[in-house]
Amino acid sequence: MSEPIVQSAAVIGAAIAILIAIFHLLLLAGLPLGAYCWGGKYERVLPPRVRWMSLPSAIVLAIIALMILAYAGVIQMGDGAGAVIMIWAIAVFFGLNTLGNLASKSKREKAVMTPAAGIAFLCSLIVAIWGGF
């Protein structure tokens, strides 16, 4: 696959990861978005204990975005040690995330997060298979 296609997939996948990271920061800030996560268990504002779990999620998603971009050659980072394993772990992460969102009891989570995670999965899969420039 051509480099521009792989890099485009990386940018799209990274953008989705950043948008989901921002979503987690909004949850942490107490916005009433609970229906879009945790299977809709919390319809509006997440309880504080659950809200704080969004912080590590946001950090991990930001790191994932950087790793996708680096593996596709969009940005330069480090020497690439372990990059192949990590990019496949990211693809698996987004694949499992897609399945989890698809199984959600929340119609809103299913409608919004499943496509987002699914597109991120496909983009990270493209980068994992054809990236590594």
Q: What is the mean pLDDT of residues 59-84?
A: 88
Model confidence at 83, pLDDT cuts 50, 70, 90, reads confident
Give the residue numbers spanning the domain of 107. 3-130
Distance CA 66, CA 13 (A): 10
104-110: long-range contacts (C-beta < 8 A, 24 or more apart)?
Answer: 104/39, 104/40, 105/39, 105/40, 106/35, 106/36, 106/37, 106/38, 106/39, 106/40, 107/40, 108/35, 108/36, 108/40, 109/35, 109/36, 109/37, 109/39, 109/40
Model confidence at 80, pLDDT cuts 50, 70, 90, reads low
pTM over 0.75: yes
Please determine, for residue 127, whether its predicted confidence score (pLDDT) is greater than 70: yes
How many structural domains are present in the chain? 1
Q: What is the mean pLDDT of residues 87-112?
A: 95
Please determine, for residue 30, whether its predicted confidence score (pLDDT) is greater than 70: yes
pLDDT tens profile 111-126? 999 999 999 999 999 9
Model confidence at 59, pLDDT cuts 50, 70, 90, reads very high
Please determine, for residue 90, whether its predicted confidence score (pLDDT) is greater than 90: yes
Instruction: Compute the mean pLDDT over every residue in the chain, rounded to the nearest whole number.
Output: 93
Q: Residue 9: its pLDDT value, please?
A: 97
